[in-house]
Amino acid sequence: MKERVILHSDINCCYASIELLHHPELRGKPVAVGGDPEARHGIVLTADYIAKKKGVKTGMALWQARQVCPDIVFVPPRMDLYLRFSRMAHEIYAEYTDRQEPYGIDESWLDVTDSVSIKGDGYRIAQEISNRMKSELGITVSIGVSFNKIFAKLGSDYKKPDAITTMYKDEFRTKAWPLPASDLLYVGRSTENKLRKIGINTIGELALCDERILNDQVGKMGSILWAFANGYDDSPVKVENTSAPIKSIGNSTTTPRDLETDDDVKVVMYVLAESVAARLRENGFRCRTVEISLRDKDLYSFIRQKKVKNATNITSEIAEAGYELYKQYYRLPENCNVRDAAISGKYLENFYMKPLRSIGIRGADLVNDNYWEQLDLFTSPEFREKRMKADVAVDSIRKRFGFFSVQRGMMLGDTILSAVNAQEHTIHPHGYFG
């Protein structure tokens, strides 16, 4: 059986690199993408290498980044632009293989086994891809070359930026095993602490540990991590276009005032759903799951989700699914009564809910627009088509004249709530097992 040749390509400081292409005046300065610096809130999504050397890290609050790097320049995120570069990168990858599996916007596994006889070995293919990314897109990538996905990713993380690292069967023990166990996929902070308690600090020590001891310490993930460390991962690289390059698109907001009625919630839910649905349409995605997050004025929060009947990027379908979840799992004080509590089987004090301060909604379990599914007898494809066309028309008007140039009638009932910022989005990458 022919040995597989797997690459993992990772765009270096993806968001920051793309922004620097469009802001050449910022080159040589510490740059970070994320949040809203004028409103003084948000987190760092990514930073360039100058900022990273000064201590700026992904996930850091903007004010924290400013403390460690006073001269940092913040740039607001433009997810549409980053997704466009991601698509162009995949067009380059497609010239080497149809087995390309995205792992977020900036990373992708490539199975180039069948291209080796034509294009050369894995290292040569990686060199060619790296050169093309620089010359055609103006960005650099780090690429790992290996016989499986886990070590290919470890190779792309091994040396940055703009590097190629091999992790073949005859060398992964010398290259991978001395690395910290936390470098291995799915060894987070909690798992790292558990491993450290039993004396495991490196990938090699993890590989040589008794599998039963690992399972006792970290649960069922113990066997998976043990297999990863020993190079036993044989998971295939998926064929292109069978999954979206991202896991979900969402939006949330802290409202200008507490939400005290169902109508308040519905207005904000629709504002957020409009922006999420527009982003799904613009990038050719539909969602099969809708998720909401609610937080009350005392900062208690919870998340609920549901499958939708048909994959959708229609604003009203996403908003209605979110609102149904809210009605199913939450009661504002004005709607709570003894009868509701009795029906729910809960005590009244547990059933009582407080005014909401924050709402979020996201479309998850994404598929591409070419996804086909069977509709049931009670779904009208003509009606859904009309809704889609209406949404696309609204998108076009808003691109020309701004988000608030066209609004639903319900928005006029509360101009304060309907004016919440609906332009920011969160992009959630795929998990390895997803």
Catalytic residues: 107
Of 245, 249, 247, 269, nearest to 259 (Cα)?
A: 269
All residues at 6 or more sequence positions from 1 whose CB lies less than 8 Å from its CB, including other chains? none
Reported in sequence order, the residue ranges of 245-323 that DSSP labels E, i.e. its strands, are: 248-259, 285-296, 301-312
CA distance 87 to 244: 11
Determine contact, residues 146/168, Cβ cutoff 8 Å. yes
Residue type for position 405: S
Q: What is the dihedral of CA 395, 396, 400, 406, to 10 degrees?
A: -50
Gap between the Cα atoms of 234 and 201, Å rounded: 25
Q: How many whole angstroms separate alpha carbon 386 and alpha carbon 105?
A: 31
The DSSP result for 378-404, as a single string, is T--HHHHHHHHHHHHHHHHHHHHH-GG
